[in-house]
Structure formats: structure tokens, C-alpha cells
Chains A and B, each alone.
Chain A
Amino acid sequence: MRIWPIYKKELRLYFTSPVAYVLLTIFLFIAGYFFYSIFAFFTRSSMQMAMNPQMGRDLNVTDSVLRPLFANLSVILLLLMPLVTMRLFAEERRSGTIELLLTYPVRDGAVLIGKYLAALTLYATMIAGTLAYPALLAYFARVEWGPMLTGYVGLLLMGGMFLAVGLFASSLTENQIVAAIVTFGVLLMFWIIGWTAEFAPSPYGAVLTHLSILEHNDTFAKGVLDTKDVIYYLDFTALALFLTLRSLEARRWNG
């Protein structure tokens, strides 16, 4: 399996074009703004609570800063992640380079994993940039490191799933915009699919709830590492990658 050269090539392409830098800048700018506003609100609440100590007992960094921060980051990711993956197969197909890539002695699976890991690396770099916030927090307040860690695990799992869905969409078309829109549409649909759960007849409501991304993403920030949620993300990722592999194969037959 020659994953390594594919991985290196994709990473090189991210960082020799402006894509990675623009994504990193915009993501960290918006994430920083979220962090600032949430933390400013927390600070003001703390001051008010200080005058009324009984109410202040419920106030802590995990619930008041980290959980809203992770929730907000998830929404930015929902918007930005389709842009990370849209190029990966669509551009190869548009420029015709896929014809060479698929005649090199590498399996389709190795190409897929190489590309996926490259996207994951870019994503991890984006997320790593936000580690400055807990560092700042820890300077001013008492941080619970457990929920912080699980929060990041959750973010990585969710992002990994977004990337896999994006990779699949990118393998379906030679138009990057189409790939991005399809990815966004699929992710948004699964984000809010639970909303109709209460109107659905009994067994289906539970299914819809379980399918919802929203349903699985808050527990991590609370410090809970539930296998149900971990498996949800991993399953979704594996399914999307499997479909991508099938799509590559189908495209071969159709020429």
C-alpha cells in the first residue's frame, strides 16, 4: 500500500496553493471571535455572580465556556469542511490527472486513504490553532482538563466524518462547487434530521434522533465519552469512505 506518497502529494498541494492558508486564517479568526465573545460574557456573569454568591455556585468554565465554544466551532466546521475536501477527487477528474493516478501501481484504497489522511491533517492543524484558547483560559480560570480533552476528541471524530462525506461527494463529480454544495447539503440534513423526531411514529422517531449529528456532539464537551456517539461518527466515516471506493470503481467502468 503506497499511501505515503499520495499523502505527501495532497498535503503539498494544500500548502502550495492558498487554500490551506485562507482556510486556517478564516477559521481561526471566526473561532477566536467566538471564544472572545463567550469568554467576555462569562467574565461579566462572574462579576455579577460575585455579588450574589449563591447563584454563582453553578458557574464553571466547562459549562459556560467550553460547551458553547465547541458547539459554535461545530457550526463553523459544517460550513468550512466541504471546502477542504471538494478539490480532492473533483479536480483530478476535471484536469484528467485521475487517468494517470489510477494507472500508477497503487490501489484505489491507498489513493483514498492518502487523500483522506491529508485532509485530516489539514483539519487537525486548524483545530490545533484553537488550543491557544484553553491555554489562555487556564491562566485566568480553573479548567477541567478531562472535558476539554473529550471535547477535542469529539471535534476530531466529527470533523473526520465531515471529511469522509466530503470525499464521497468529491468523487461523484468533476465540479468542485457541486461537491461542496452536496457535502454541505448532506451534512446539514443530518444535522437537523432529529427535528422531526417528535412528529414521527414511535420507532422512527428514535431512529431519526440517533441519526442526527446534533444529538451526538454535545456529550463530548460535557466530558462524557459515550461509545454510542463514538461509534456513530466512526460508522458514518467508514460508510462514506466505503461508498467513495465504490464510486471510484464505478467511474472506472463508465470511463
Chain B
Amino acid sequence: MIEVQNLTKRYGSFTAIRDVSFAVAPGEIVGFLGPNGAGKSTTMRILSCFMPASGGSARVAGYDVFRESMEVRRRIGYLPESVPLYSDMRVAPYLDFVAEVKGVPRSARKKRVADVMDRCLIADMQSRLIRNLSKGYRQRVGLAQAIVSDPAVLILDEPTIGLDPRQITEIRALIKSLAGEHTVILSTHILPEVSMLCSGVVIINRGAIVAQGPIDRLVEEFFPTARVEVEIAGPTVAVLEGLRAIAGVVRVEEGGAAGDGVGRFVVESARGRDVRGEIFQLAAQQKLTLLELRRVGMTLEEVFIRIVAGEESEAAAAAEAAPGAAVTEAAP
């Protein structure tokens, strides 16, 4: 549904994104992740036909965003990060205007606008001036204008930013309900949101794609081992030895003493192998007091931090080696 190939965008001498390639299958919700300034908004602006790329190509719903821009625009709903709305218009007339511009036929328009307002929970705000709406309602009106023409592809730039926790839950539920009939690409830097909503993820950092794929696979790729955190009272050396002797344990890391004679350890074992039972047996046999035994779930968040932090330290190393090169790259 969305195919991006070697997309590059330069502003003067500053390269916002370079050689970005990814694909989104129909009906999928893909999270577009990255720290601030990584190039998320730039990519979305190109996909939504707001601005042309400097190089590479992007196809949305089978049409090229540059050469067949009108065809693409007929098939997308776009919500920019700043949620720009006409503050002097009222909600219902505004949505009617958007529906008309997007080519919803006159006969279907009224019903369509009413449906969308119901779906986005803004029906009771329909005769309010947009300038008087709270941030949460503005966000929902923004989402409503994106889906009013029932487009095949939705491009949402940080749809939950600046909302309170309840509104976030509502907007997420709404987005989730769009999956299947719509293909959605949404950018965010709230990681749990991605795990909750998206089937796939594309991680971008400093203008380049650093990882992409289904979330489970990414987690596996970056964390091939399962981890268990153990807090145990007893002589450190003996405990370490005992833990290492357990079959399937790859690595044991000492997490420092947690108190009087109590040690903390992180036990890594092959994925799919649960060693908690054996740790308990070990403690029982050696008459050690087991204080805590906890499985540490590897989340997307840790993948993300590892990737971005890894890139950063690489960049820092590169900067030390060649200071001049890093300066030119960072200059906006």
C-alpha cells in the first residue's frame, strides 16, 4: 500500500532524510518511530504530497506521490503534527468543507460528516467554533477530517501528542478500530503506544532507517536471550557458580549487592528456556534465601534505546576521529 524507495530530502546543505526505504502492507498499522528531529515529519510530508522529495520515490496506493499526486491525494487522509485547523470555523461546517474538497458526493456528505463526528466523539461539539475547543477535541477534529472521505491510507503524525491519559486511550481505540479497512502509518515517540497499536514498526534515526519489521521479530533480533532477575541472600561466589552451572544459562551478570549479604544477579538464558524453576531448586538445595525471582520482559522500548544509543556512540566515535565531518552534518 505504501512503498518507499531510497527517499532523500535535502534542505539546502542539510539532509533531513537519506535513502529511506520501507513498505507497508494493506490493512496494516505501522509505527514510525524515532527521536525528535529524526525525519519522521519530513517523510510523512512527502508521503502526503505536501512537498516533493529530493531523490528516490514513494508510491501510495499504487500511485507515485510526485507524478500522480492527485490520485494519491484522493486516497489519503493526513493529520499533520500541529493539527492545523481553521480556528474561525465551526466543527460541522469545517468537516463538510473537507468532505466536499475531498470529493465526497453531495448526497452522501451530510451522513458521512455525521458518522465521522459520532465515531470521533465530537458530535456534541459540532456547532462550536474550533478556536474554542480544547486540545483533545482539536485532535479529534483533526482525525475526523483525515477519515471523512474514507481514504485507503491514513498518515498520522503524532496523533496522541499533548492529550491527557483518558483521551490518549480513546484516540488509540479509534485508531485501532481503523485497522483492516485502512492502512495506517503513524509516527510517535511513545513506545508503548506502538506495541499496543502497531503490527510493524519502522525506526528512523538521524534521517536514516535503522530497523524495521514486526515488533516480536525486532525484539528477538536485538535480544536473543531471555532474562531473569534474581535477588538472593548468600555468598556471592557460590551463588554465581551455582547459577552458571544451570543448563541453558548463557551469562550471569552481577547486579551489585542489594544489602547485607544479599546479591542481585541477571541471568541470561537461551530464548524460550525458562530457568526460574532451576534457580529456585538451587536456592533450596544450598539453603539460600531467595528474595526475588523475576522475568525481565524485553520490550520495544529497550530495542529502541539500544539502537538509538548505539548510533549515538558510533557517531560520537566518528566525530572524535573526524571532527570536521560531524560538524557539517549537524549544521541545519
Chain A residues with CB under 8 Å of chain B are 2, 4-6, 8-9, 12-13, 16-17, 95-100, 102-107, 252-255
Q: Contacts of B80 on A, CB cut-off 8 Å?
A: 96, 99-100
- Contact A2-B100, Cβ < 8 Å, known A13-B88, A99-B80: yes
Binds A, one of B46-54, B182-190, B274-282: B46-54
User: CB-CB contacts of B68-109 with A at 8 A, as 1s and 0s?
Assistant: 001001101010101011111100010001101111000000
Q: Contacts of B84 on A, CB cut-off 8 Å?
A: 95-100
B11 touches A255 (CB 8 A): yes
Cα A105 to Cα B74 in complex, Å, equals: 5
- Assess whether B45 is interfacial by the CB under 8 Å rule: yes
Among residues of A, the one whose C-beta sits closest to the C-beta of B83 is A96
Q: Contacts of A8 on B, CB cut-off 8 Å?
A: 97, 100
Measured CB to CB, the closest approach of chain B to A45, in angstroms, equals: 48
- How many chain B residues have a CB neighbour from A under 8 Å? 29
A12 touches B52 (CB 8 A): no
- Contact A252-B78, Cβ < 8 Å, known A9-B97, A97-B85, A104-B101: no
- Contact A105-B101, Cβ < 8 Å, known A16-B89, A100-B145: yes
Give residues of chain B (124-162) contacting chain A, Cβ–Cβ below 8 Å. 145
Most chain A CB atoms below 10 A, which of B70, B87, B100: B100
Q: Contacts of B102 on A, CB cut-off 8 Å?
A: 104-105
Q: Contacts of A253 on B, CB cut-off 8 Å?
A: 51-52
Measured CB to CB, the closest approach of chain B to A16, in angstroms, equals: 6
A105 touches B88 (CB 8 A): no
Among residues of B, the one whose C-beta sits closest to the C-beta of A95 is B84
A2 touches B103 (CB 8 A): yes
A103 touches B76 (CB 8 A): yes
Among residues of A, the one whose C-beta sits closest to the C-beta of B96 is A5
Measured CB to CB, the closest approach of chain B to A90, in angstroms, equals: 14
Cα A17 to Cα B70 in complex, Å, equals: 32
- Contact A255-B93, Cβ < 8 Å, known A2-B100, A95-B87: no
A5 touches B97 (CB 8 A): yes
Cα A6 to Cα B49 in complex, Å, equals: 19
Among residues of A, the one whose C-beta sits closest to the C-beta of B71 is A105
A97 touches B50 (CB 8 A): no
A102 touches B101 (CB 8 A): no
Cα A98 to Cα B52 in complex, Å, equals: 15
Measured CB to CB, the closest approach of chain A to B72, in angstroms, equals: 9
B101 touches A2 (CB 8 A): yes
Cα A96 to Cα B50 in complex, Å, equals: 12
What 8 A-B pairs have minimum CB-CB distances, sorted nearest first?
A96-B84, A5-B100, A105-B73, A97-B84, A105-B74, A103-B48, A104-B101, A5-B101
Measured CB to CB, the closest approach of chain A to B126, in angstroms, equals: 15
Measured CB to CB, the closest approach of chain B to A6, in angstroms, equals: 7
Among residues of B, the one whose C-beta sits closest to the C-beta of A13 is B88
Among residues of B, the one whose C-beta sits closest to the C-beta of A17 is B88
Measured CB to CB, the closest approach of chain A to B38, in angstroms, equals: 16
Q: Contacts of A97 on B, CB cut-off 8 Å?
A: 84-86
Cα A99 to Cα B97 in complex, Å, equals: 16
Give residues of chain B (265-322) contacting chain A, Cβ–Cβ below 8 Å. none
Q: Contacts of A105 on B, CB cut-off 8 Å?
A: 70, 73-74, 101-103
Cα A2 to Cα B98 in complex, Å, equals: 12
Q: Among B48, B50, B78, B101, point to the contact of A106 (Cβ < 8 A).
A: B101
Measured CB to CB, the closest approach of chain B to A24, in angstroms, equals: 18
Q: Contacts of A107 on B, CB cut-off 8 Å?
A: 70
Among residues of A, the one whose C-beta sits closest to the C-beta of B90 is A16
A13 touches B51 (CB 8 A): no
Measured CB to CB, the closest approach of chain B to A97, in angstroms, equals: 4
B82 touches A103 (CB 8 A): no
Most chain A CB atoms below 10 A, which of B11, B84, B88, B145: B84
B51 touches A255 (CB 8 A): yes
Most chain A CB atoms below 10 A, which of B74, B87, B88, B93: B88
